[in-house]
Amino acid sequence: MDALKLVRVRELEIAVRIWHPNAPRTVIAWHGLARHGGDFAAFARVLGPGWRVLAPDTPGRGLSSWSLYPAQDYLYAHYMNVAVAVLDHFGLEQVPWVGTSMGGLIGMLMAAEPETSSRIERLVLNDVGPELDPKGLAELASYFGVPHRFPRFSELEAELRRHYTGFGIDSDDAWRRLALDSARRLPDGSWTYHYDPRISEQFVHDTPRDTWTDWAAIRCPVMVVRGEDSPLLKAESVTRMVEAQPDLASLEVPGCGHAPMLDRDSQVRPIADFLDRPRPGLLPSDASEAPSLWQRGLRWLKVIGKG
């Protein structure tokens, strides 16, 4: 990252990782359940210096505070409050949002709620949607619901390779970087993950809601990225998503499960095209750009190869 800002939300300190801090345009990039904003380093590099990427660490993860009240703070409603506080801190009235898994759901709920919908200019959901496979969710809850302890750093890295195989990471260097970014040393010298083990309590305390109603309420442009082998977001669910959002843009990433890392050109460039596209009903500011922008159209996209 190029910069770090710390935003206070009540008693919690929220770390926001920043790439290209002086770029003319800004995108929010929000991570998944047990990850942190550092996952978007490669995304920011590929997206390029024209975009300031703000990637917050959700409470209980990375460099952000752990909550003393998990039943109140490790909930989607509170994560939305944190997101609004981050947008306010940076003076962002409206911003594109790219969210992986949990981060995508936070963006989806914000785009659906009348009080916050105007803050989301457009939305990219990375391997998440209004319908998730119950078996996949149960496996996530059971895995992150128990503490993980590793006597050696190498054992933590081996477990990361096993559990996060769906990320589609294909180099030893990338796995080592993931391990370095994921590890926290315990007082007895052993190793564990960076996050508060109680983050999984959101599966117990969070209030169920009709996410299909939320999906239908979204009025901003939306794109979904799906790992070809995703255990959470099924292809049939994406088909149903199109029924409620006919202009949905879609990218399917081969060789990935849950969730694509958004760390290479073949995954990021289609997202960049989506972010560049003018909103329906709005003319491009430069008329000379109109043909190249409008001809892209909202369409189904499929990446060939892992690139």
User: What was the pLDDT predicted at 303?
Assistant: 36
The yes-or-no verdict on residue 288 having pLDDT over 90 is no
Q: Which two tokens stand for residue 295?
A: 């001809």
Which residues neighbour 188 within 8 Å (Cβ) at sequence distance 6 or greater? none
Cα dihedral 182, 186, 191, 196 sign? negative
172 and 217 in contact (C-beta within 8 Å)? no
Mean pLDDT calculated for residue range 264-274:
97
pTM: 0.90
Whole-angstrom distance, CA of residue 196 vs CA of residue 59: 9
Mean pLDDT of the chain: 91
User: What was the pLDDT predicted at 204?
Assistant: 86
Mean pLDDT calculated for residue range 113-122:
98
Structural domain boundaries of the chain?
3-130+210-302
User: What was the pLDDT predicted at 287?
Assistant: 34
User: What was the pLDDT predicted at 241?
Assistant: 97
In words, the CATH class of domain 3-130+210-302 is: alpha beta
Provide the pLDDT confidence category of residue 169 given band limits of 50, 70 and 90. very high
The predicted-structure confidence for 84-115, as pLDDT tens digits, reads as follows: 999 999 999 999 999 999 999 999 999 999 99
From 30, 29, 43, 40, select the one nearest 269 (Cα to Cα).
43
User: What was the pLDDT predicted at 302?
Assistant: 37
The yes-or-no verdict on residue 295 having pLDDT over 90 is no
Q: Sheet holding 51-56: strands in order across?
A: 3-9, 12-19, 51-56, 25-30, 95-100, 120-126, 222-227, 249-253, 300-302
